[in-house]
Chain A
Amino acid sequence: MTAALLGPAFVFLIAFVVLPVLTVGALALLNFDPLSQETSFAGLENWHRVLASQELWQATGNTLLYTALTVPFEVGGGLLIALAIRAAGRGAGLWRTAYFAPTAATLAAMSVVWRWLFYPHVGVFDETLGRLVGQDGWLGSTTLALPAVAIVGSWAGIGSCVVMFLAGLSNVPAHLEDAARMDRAGAWHRFWSVIWPAIGPATTFALVITTRDSLRVYDQVRVMTDGGPQQSTSTLSFTAWQRGVSYLDIGGGSVVNTVLLVLVLITVAVQLRLGGRRWEEDGRR
Chain B
Amino acid sequence: MKRVPTTMATVRGEQAEQVSSSRSVGVEAMTKVYPGGRRALDGVELAVEPGTFVVLLGPSGCGKTTLLRCIAGLERISAGRVVIGGEDVTHREPGDRGVAMVFQNYALYPTKTVLENIEYPLRMVKVPRQARHRQAREMAELLRLGPVMGSRPAQLSGGQRQRVGIGRALVREPNVLLMDEPLSNIDAELRGELRAEIRRLQRRSSTTTFYVTHDQAEALALADRLVVMRDGRIEQDGPPEQVYQEPATRFVASFLGGMNMLDLTRSQAVLPAQLRATLAEDRLGWLGVRPEDLRVVARPEDATGAELVLHGTVEGNELLGRERLVHFRTRGDQRARVRIHADQTVPAQITVVANSADIHLFDTAGRRLSGTLPLSSGSR
Contacts and interface: CB of A to CB of B under 8 A. Distances in A.
Interface of A: 173, 175-176, 178-186, 189, 193-194, 197-198, 282, 285
A175 B107 contact: yes
A285 B100 contact: no
A193 B112 contact: yes
Q: Interface on chain A toward B: helix, strand, loop, or mixed SS?
A: helix
B107 A181 contact: no
Contact of B109 (A178, A186, A194): A194
B13 interface: no
A98 to B, nearest CB: 25
A225 to B, nearest CB: 44
Given A181-B95, A182-B99, A182-B101, A282 B74 contact: no
Contact of B120 (A183, A186, A198, A285): A183
Contact of B74 (A181, A194, A198): A181
Contact of A178 (B96, B107, B110, B121): B107
B74 A197 contact: no
A184 B74 contact: no
Given A193-B109, A285-B110, A179 B154 contact: no
A168 to B, nearest CB: 14
B32 interface: no
B252 interface: no
Nearest to A176: B107
Nearest to B110: A285
12 contacts: A175-B103, A178-B72, A178-B107, A179-B103, A180-B109, A182-B99, A182-B100, A183-B121, A184-B96, A184-B125, A198-B110, A285-B110
Interface centre among B108, B110, B121 (most CB of A within 10 A): B110
B111 A189 contact: no
B356 interface: no
A192 to B, nearest CB: 9
A181 B74 CA distance: 8
Nearest to B152: A285
Contact of B153 (A178, A180, A285): A285
Contacts of A198: 110
Nearest to B125: A184
A171 to B, nearest CB: 12
B141 interface: no
A197 B110 contact: yes
A284 to B, nearest CB: 9
B119 to A, nearest CB: 10
B271 to A, nearest CB: 50
A179 B111 contact: no
Contacts of A185: 95, 120, 124
B124 A189 contact: yes
Interface in B5-52: none
Nearest to B172: A183
A181 B112 contact: no
Nearest to A283: B110
Nearest to B109: A193
A282 B103 contact: no
Interface in B95-141: 95-96, 99-101, 103-105, 107-112, 120-121, 124-125
A191 B93 CA distance: 18
Q: Which 4 A-B pairs have the closest CB atoms?
A: A184-B95, A285-B110, A179-B107, A183-B121
B94 A182 contact: yes
Contacts of A282: 110-111
Contacts of A176: 107-109
A285 B105 CA distance: 13
B125 to A, nearest CB: 6
Interface centre among A175, A183, A184 (most CB of B within 10 A): A183
